[in-house]
Structure 1
Amino acid sequence: MFYKAKYIVLEDQVLENFYMEVCHGKIKSFSKNPPEEFEDLGEIIAPGLVDTHIHGYRGEDIMNAKKGALNIISKGLLECGVTSFLPTTLTDSTEKLNEACRVVGEEYKDVEGAKVRGIFLEGPFFTEKYKGAQNEKYMSDPDIEKLKKWNELSKGLVKKIAIAPERDGAIDFIHQANAMGIAVALGHSDASYKDACKAVEEGANIFVHTFNGMSGLHHRNPGMVGAAMNTDAISELICDGHHVNPAAANILINVKGPNHVALITDCMSAGGMAEGDYKLGEFDVIVKDGTARLKEGGSLAGSILKLKDAVKNLIDWDVADLFEAIQMASLVPAKSVGIDDVCGKLKVGYAADFIVLDENLGLKATFLDGKRVFG
């Protein structure tokens, strides 16, 4: 089967008026020469988006460890343009994290929508001062034995874990996690600039939802944000217009370069749902006016952002062009956790997981393995 679009976004260029050949679910070729038969998909073909930080969708939450919930989330993400994702946990009891990891490990191969590429453990090794919507009563110093157990229960699915670098034992933990093939992210932390930079030097490679849940940038105390800006680690960014001012997003992307910024949603269970009351772990959340906030205290409690909208927002804010925004929502997050060998780009030999956007960057269709599954 051949598909045509005015623009096809690759990892290193944008093809104009090309044809993409798909055979047995994989990309076989790109050609300027018209085949006898093809389907004209319109304006833009881009790689399926990769969300490496997402807690839930369509009323389901990874932490509930409910049978079948992973599939509901997976199918729902197709309307967000997401074809690969990392189900993401919260800071909670060891027992609940054990169960969440076990359920994902049991069900990930059977999902019918976006492909599960691993697990992101957001916590529980954080600092209380910047807890955000994370539960401080379960926070502790990093424990490599717990990580080994979570990885074992999930059948080796853990790809990324977030910690506060100022906690005791953080550097040794980074070394051991990296040796297991697990990326270490830094977040929910009051670390100094020096401590955060040291953690990056020792192997941490991601900053969790940069600007949010971390010590800010001050000219006499650069903090976590300063370290995010001044190291080569990849910075996650939530571009819903609520978590980060567009100007701050612009500054970060200008400083880091688009190839070091990963768009994520941090979406919670209310994604794709109506406004109202929800839960995030043990906390009550109110969803209203495009935000999810804790009922007690009003802190942002994740988001209800769709990754396709983060891409459009960057372009609408005049912060990035189409090519850059697409890479930040596909290739960069995939690279950050070492899954760019299976997703994040349109390339010969890769699964034909792609999206179709119209001239206004609206999502027209989502394809998995060359088959239209949404739109």
Structure 2
Amino acid sequence: MHAIVNGRIVLSDKILDGCALLFDKNIIGIVSRETLDTAWADGQSWKGKPLDITDAGGNYVAPGFINLHIHGCGGADTMDATEDSLAVMSRFLVQTGVTSFLPTTMTCDMQTIYKALERVRENMTLITRRREEKRGSLQSGQHTSEEMKGDMSASGNNPKDCSCAGESEPFDNKTEKMQQYRLPGAKVLGAYLEGPFISSKYKGAQHEDSIMPADFMQIKDYADVIKVVVLAPETLGNPEQVKEFIAQCKAHNIIVSLGHSGADYDTALQAVMEGASHVTHLCNAMTGLHHRTPGLLGAALDSAVTCELIADNLHVHPAVQRLIYRTKGVAGLELITDSMRACGLSDGISELGGQTVIVKNGEARLADGTLAGSIVTLNRAMANFRKNTGATVPEVVRMVTENQAQELGLFEKIGSLSPGAAADVTICNEDFAVLHTFVDGREVYKNPDI
């Protein structure tokens, strides 16, 4: 049992002072310091259970951050597809307050992408794997009446531990390995597929040779792994093909994100009407906003889609960040990093998707000057966005926690400090510098300067 005291506890709409956060592997609850002191009278236990105390020192106590879109960091990249690549990323990310992430692929030949997805599958947390297993059993009518009752109670805000759900055939041969394996820090929730279903004209820092029209059969075998797929809708032959692709993704609970696209306003809005619900790094690698041709950017601002934003002050100007914040509101925005392997390293030569990248003065660019992802960390992006927009701490935290968890269908398990949720907790200061990070109740990072 663990308690965090003397912290400012960040909820979705307010900050609680004078309280303590109790947790073991999961969140137990929030109690007043007076209640804790009364029950903790012997200084060693809470209701008979041994109690460890972390003093937050007046800093913020927030749900662990979720990085929805990240290629790499700390010298590793998702496309490395090695034993250590995701572990390196996992270990680095907790230093930035991130407790869950979606490793992001790049446009490449499909066999290389499949290797990366296999590695993600091997490292996916039980939260998402069991959720997919349970969904598969439900769709095939294999749930028992007791399991159905449990599902119904979960929908009534009585969180159910998804790791207790029954097995289903696609994952039986991996269950034992999954139970034994644990990444050293942040958890892998699945994969973000940023290519190859994109526009050649708006490819950004991606390889053009492997770009192809969207085809669900190319990714069907990894539907359990892929949580977000990027689509340039104008690259398909007709609206019916767009409709069919989006429908197939939705049937497998894959979020369709519009991005790396030259779609005009009408084409983009039609894709939204068909079920595309997300936009990849808003403003970047897409048709911009013009008063006569609103483009994909205009459609994103004029609809209810959730929009990603790279708040490194390089990809999107601070003034535009303010306009987007006012237009989309807190619920419509998710801060991401889109970072590459050079994130967390010094200036020099790096790599992204097989292409040489030059990192200098906080910028990562290809030889032709094209921006190549970012090297910003999520907590730094949060600080930038707060300074640029005047957003409150609860608002900024929501844009890296609750919004992502809700969109992924995992809000009962991550993204909040609600009782029953996984004890993924970040303690940070006013500038979002991270002091402590807990994953599933384990302290996985303590800032050496405190």
In the alignment, does 2:254 pair up with 1:186?
no
Provide the rounded CA distance (Å) in 2 between the counterparts of 1:293 and 1:237.
Answer: 18
Provide the rounded CA distance (Å) in 1 between the counterparts of 2:120 and 2:336.
Answer: 20
Report what 1:94 is aligned to: 110
In the alignment, does 2:227 pair up with 1:159?
yes
Report what 2:56 is aligned to: 41
In the alignment, does 2:380 pair up with 1:340?
no
Deviation at residue 321 of structure 1 after TM alignment = 1.4
Provide the rounded CA distance (Å) in 1 between the counterparts of 2:54 and 2:113.
Answer: 45
TM-score (norm 1): 0.95
Report what 1:28 is aligned to: 28
Deviation at residue 320 of structure 1 after TM alignment = 1.3
Report what 2:67 is aligned to: 51
SS in 2 for 1:274: coil
Q: Does structure 2 conserve the Cα–Cα contact (< 8 Å) formed by 1:52 and 1:334?
A: no
Report what 2:372 is aligned to: 301
SS in 2 for 1:77: helix
State the AA in 2 paired with 1:159: K
Provide the rounded CA distance (Å) in 1 between the counterparts of 2:219 and 2:413.
Answer: 24
Which structure is larger by alpha-carbon Rg, 1 or 2?
2
Root mean square deviation, CA, Å:
1.3
Pairing 1:239-254 to 2, within 5 Å after superposition: 239-254=311-326
Q: Does structure 2 conserve the Cα–Cα contact (< 8 Å) formed by 1:268 and 1:280?
A: yes
Provide the rounded CA distance (Å) in 1 between the counterparts of 2:7 and 2:101.
Answer: 27
Equivalent in 220, 227, 236 of residue 148 of structure 1:
220
State the AA in 2 paired with 1:186: L
Q: Does structure 2 conserve the Cα–Cα contact (< 8 Å) formed by 1:205 and 1:336?
A: no
Report what 2:135 is aligned to: none
Pairing 1:130-141 to 2, within 5 Å after superposition: 130-141=202-213
Deviation at residue 283 of structure 1 after TM alignment = 1.0
Provide the rounded CA distance (Å) in 2 between the counterparts of 1:284 and 1:307.
Answer: 24
Q: Does structure 2 conserve the Cα–Cα contact (< 8 Å) formed by 1:279 and 1:285?
A: yes
| Closer, same or farther: CA 249–211 of 1 in aligned 2, 3 Å | same
TM-score (norm 2): 0.80
Report what 1:201 is aligned to: 273
Aligned residues: 369
State the AA in 2 paired with 1:26: N
Deviation at residue 333 of structure 1 after TM alignment = 2.1
SS in 1 for 2:195: strand
State the AA in 2 paired with 1:283: Q
State the AA in 1 paired with 2:201: K
Q: Relative to total residues, which structure has the larger helix share, 1 or 2? A: 2
Pairing 1:1-375 to 2, within 5 Å after superposition: 1-23=2-24, 25-34=25-34, 35=36, 36=40, 37=43, 38-42=53-57, 43-108=59-124, 109=178, 110=181, 111-151=183-223, 156-168=224-236, 169-295=241-367, 297-375=368-446
| Closer, same or farther: CA 309–341 of 1 in aligned 2, 3 Å | same
Structure 1 range deviating more: 106-115 or 166-175: 106-115
SS in 2 for 1:301: coil
Deviation at residue 150 of structure 1 after TM alignment = 3.2
Structure 1 range deviating more: 322-331 or 10-19: 10-19
State the AA in 2 paired with 1:20: L
SS in 2 for 1:52: strand
State the AA in 2 paired with 1:55: H
| Closer, same or farther: CA 341–57 of 1 in aligned 2, 3 Å | same
Structure 1 range deviating more: 355-364 or 275-284: 355-364
Provide the rounded CA distance (Å) in 2 between the counterparts of 1:231 and 1:360.
Answer: 32
| Closer, same or farther: CA 138–319 of 1 in aligned 2, 3 Å | farther
SS in 2 for 1:340: coil
Which portions of structure 1, spanning 4 or more consecutive aligned residues, are displaced by more than 6 angstroms?
none
Deviation at residue 318 of structure 1 after TM alignment = 3.6
Provide the rounded CA distance (Å) in 2 between the counterparts of 1:196 and 1:341.
Answer: 31
Deviation at residue 294 of structure 1 after TM alignment = 0.6
Deviation track 1:288-340 (CA, whole Å, cap 9, x = no partner) reads 11111111x21111111110111111122244111111111111122233232
Deviation at residue 106 of structure 1 after TM alignment = 2.1
Deviation track 1:181-220 (CA, whole Å, cap 9, x = no partner) reads 1111010000011111111111111100000000000000
Deviation at residue 158 of structure 1 after TM alignment = 1.1
Q: Does structure 2 conserve the Cα–Cα contact (< 8 Å) formed by 1:53 and 1:265?
A: yes
Deviation track 1:80-125 (CA, whole Å, cap 9, x = no partner) reads 1100000100011011111111122123453121000111100110
Q: Does structure 1 conserve the Cα–Cα contact (< 8 Å) formed by 2:321 and 2:388?
A: no
